[in-house]
Amino acid sequence: MQHFLPHVARDSNAGAGPRTLPVAIALLSAVTVTGCGSQAGGGESRTETDTAGPPVTTEAIAAAEQVIGLEFTEAERRQMLEPAALFSGLEERRAAYARIRREDIGNDVPPALIFRPHPPAVPVERGDPDWPAPPSVDPPEELESLAFASVRELGALLRAGHVTSVELTRMYLDRLRRHDSVLHAVVTLTEDLALEQARRADRELRNGTDRGPLHGIPYGLKDLFSVPDYPTTWGATPYRDQVLDETATVASRLEEAGAVLVAKTTLGALAWGDVWFGGRTRNPWNTEQGSGGSSAGSAATVSAGLVPFAIGTETLGSILSPSTRTGVTGLRPSFGRVSRHGGMFVSWSMDKVGPICRRALDCALVFDAIRGPDGEDPTLVDRPFPFEAAESLEGRRIGYVQASFERDYDGREADRRVLDVLRELGAEMVPIELPDRPVESLAFILAAEAATAHDSLTRTDLDSTLVRQQAAAWPNVYRTARFVPAVEYLQANQVRWLLGRDMRQLMTDLDAYVAPTSGGPTLLLTNLTGHPSVAVPNGFDDGESPRSITFVGTMYGEADLLEIVSVYQDATGWDERHPPEFTPADADSADRR
């Protein structure tokens, strides 16, 4: 699944200022933990260990052996220190590492090995989406009653002339200002840009120019993506004043679709959790609680009715986790479906971009606008999205991870009811077992890539400025990843290839499968293989805390996946409940779909 791709579409740094995060893939060395390199945002470098440092000794090699779980003889250790022409000895190799670190290579530059999860042969599929008819709408008595309206309903109101994009934009900006003191979900309001985009949308709609379902609809963008003239902070102190002179592809695609950017939403520092340099982003259902994974602000603002939809990213749960916590619907598309250009990288082979909405149908509308190759992200594929609205699940084969539903856990009965509903809707439910591979043992793939993406933070000691410093946080993950041997990294990716093959075989006769959101191997497994997933509300714990179920689709099968989830939502209505503290008294809680 890792392939060497020597070609590039074009220089993705054109027009952008230099970035200073070296990108050489982390190699083992207990003797090369630190080294020379450019600095990110100032700070003092850690102790240098290039050729000016103490010599590499057989004792140092023996110490490193304890880390990697191998044992060499004393003669073999001495041989490792001898010059070996092109491949050199360890002393010369350490100097080579130092020279590589002096290269000015940015976070947005991928390694030459690119993750390609799709099979060589892709079957012919249906064509473009077939959207349902627009809903019937009436003028709102109070504009704020539309706070929780669906994207489709807002679009119908705009086209009927019952509201304007400027009115919607001002309403959502006002709600963002009023409620963010509680939620801490916004890094920057983009008011000037939003009003400019909204005025243009109103002019175009009046003149008969319709850019599609998102035309004139406000939205939030995770502050991992760059937009000119506004900070792109990555949620982290070293970058809180960073302004990048480029527009991320996902933002430009949404602008082309006529959407209106009202806010850059919070993310945990460098996409870890919900704690950023401004505090902790809160769950609208329980403001004593954080809102979950790193797309924290995107999920919280959608949940609280502060935007109709938002953009998130996921490497390991950062769309699905906050969607679960805040009771919204989050789509993590297949790897390679949506461009990461203009965004901060955590893991080149695992990062994915997707919409967070209140309904699966809205996720489909947003996904259709942002998907597809852009000439910038070399991992992208061109596949159709043949979404068709359905009323039943007749003819659908949906798997369920039988062992997961049989174990004892909180919420098991709610999850089992999902299986009953799917059967009642006509689906054939098929018990399945997930591949028997050491999935959890592959997690260091993410760690090695993340440590590479933010290498200079470790080498300049700026990792000490991040808000989390415990073992389960980026600084420690970055440091421990320096000890991942290159051979083991590549072998892990070989096992990952086998895992992807197993999943393709498993899903051959399935349209999707369903699994509990909490616990089990599904989250890490599908992030490694690149399969699309949706977290969808399926009830409340103790009547107050949202919970979700996870649907997983086939590779590039977002259309079937969202069709299934949409039918499930129509039959259950969990998406119609909203956090009381943020719901206007006259809000229409049931959208017209």
Whether pLDDT at 10 is above 50 = no
Which one of the listed residues 226, 318, 347, 456 is annotated catalytic? 318
> Confidence class of residue 23 from pLDDT cuts 50, 70 and 90?
very low
Whole-structure pTM value: 0.88
Is residue 456 annotated as a catalytic residue, yes or no? Answer: no
Whether pLDDT at 467 is above 90 = no
Q: How far apart are CA 173 and CA 153, in angstroms?
A: 19
**Residue reference for tokens 């489709």:** 152
CATH architecture of 147-372+386-439+492-578: Alpha-Beta Complex (3.90)
Handedness of CA 132, 551, 439, 527 (dihedral sign): positive
> Confidence class of residue 26 from pLDDT cuts 50, 70 and 90?
very low
Which one of the listed residues 29, 150, 165, 294 is annotated catalytic? 294
pLDDT, tens digit, 9 for 90 and up, residues 470-489 = 878 898 889 888 888 899 99
Helix (H) or strand (E) holding 565: helix 558-572
Cite the DSSP H helix spans in 273-379. Answer: 296-303, 320-326, 360-370
Whether pLDDT at 17 is above 70 = no
As annotated, the residues of the chain forming the CATH 3.90.1300.10 domain(s) are 147-372+386-439+492-578
pLDDT on residue 453: 94
Whether pLDDT at 6 is above 90 = no
Q: How far apart are CA 565 and CA 332, in angstroms?
A: 13
Helix (H) or strand (E) holding 357: strand 352-357
Which one of the listed residues 29, 222, 226, 298 is annotated catalytic? 222
Lowest mean pLDDT among 7-11, 86-90, 285-289: 7-11
- Beta-sheet pairing, 260-265 with 218-222: parallel
Average pLDDT over residues 543-560: 94
> Confidence class of residue 42 from pLDDT cuts 50, 70 and 90?
very low
Per the prediction, the chain carries an average pLDDT of 88
pLDDT, tens digit, 9 for 90 and up, residues 193-224 = 999 999 999 999 999 999 999 999 999 999 99
Enter the tokens of residue 491: 């072998």
Lowest mean pLDDT among 3-12, 20-29, 85-94, 314-323: 20-29
Taken as a whole, the chain contains a residue count of 593
Q: What percent of the chain has pLDDT over 70?
A: 87
Is residue 294 annotated as a catalytic residue, yes or no? Answer: yes
**Residue reference for tokens 């619907």:** 329
Phi-psi region of 405 (alpha: psi -120 to 50; beta: other; left: phi over 0): alpha
Q: How far apart are CA 302 and CA 320, in angstroms?
A: 14
Q: How far apart are CA 367 and CA 344, in angstroms?
A: 20
Residue pair 216/258 in contact (Cβ under 8 Å)? The answer is yes
Whether pLDDT at 85 is above 50 = yes
pLDDT on residue 586: 67
pLDDT, tens digit, 9 for 90 and up, residues 406-455 = 888 888 999 999 999 999 999 999 999 999 999 999 999 999 999 999 99
pLDDT on residue 128: 83
Residue pair 219/259 in contact (Cβ under 8 Å)? The answer is yes
Lowest mean pLDDT among 184-188, 301-305, 336-340, 485-489: 485-489
Whether pLDDT at 554 is above 70 = yes
Is residue 222 annotated as a catalytic residue, yes or no? Answer: yes
Average pLDDT over residues 87-99: 77
Whether pLDDT at 365 is above 70 = yes
Whether pLDDT at 499 is above 80 = yes
